[in-house]
Amino acid sequence: MRKIRTALTASLFLAMSAFGAMPSQAMAAPAPLQLWRLDCGEIQMNDAAPLSDTGTYDGRSRRLSNGCYLVRHGADYLLWDAGLPVSLLGKALGAEPISATLGQDLTSQLARIGVRPEQIGRLAISHYHFDHVGQAALFPEATLLIGAADLKALRGAPPAFADPSLLEHWLKGAGAIDAIDGDRDVFGDGSVTILSAPGHTSGELALLVRLPETGPVILTGDVAHLESQLAPRHVPIWNTNRAESLASIDRLVKLAATLKARIIVQHDPGDVRLLARFPDASR
pLDDT tier for residue 34 given thresholds of 50, 70 and 90: very high
pLDDT digits (tens, 9 = 90+) for 253-272: 999 999 999 999 999 999 99
Q: What is the model's pTM?
A: 0.90
How do 98-101 and 33-45 pair as beta strands? antiparallel
pLDDT digits (tens, 9 = 90+) for 92-122: 999 999 999 999 999 999 999 999 999 999 9
pLDDT digits (tens, 9 = 90+) for 152-170: 999 999 999 999 999 999 9
pLDDT of the residue at 30: 85
Q: What is the mean pLDDT of the chain?
A: 92
Model confidence at 24: pLDDT above 70: no
pLDDT tier for residue 190 given thresholds of 50, 70 and 90: very high
- The mean pLDDT value for 35-40 works out to 98
pLDDT of the residue at 77: 98
Q: Are 195 and 207 in contact (CB under 8 A)?
A: yes
- The mean pLDDT value for 185-209 works out to 98
| Torsion (CA) 60, 230, 94, 275 in degrees, nearest 10 | 130
Measured from the Cβ of residue 19, the count of other Cβ atoms closer than 10 Å reads 7
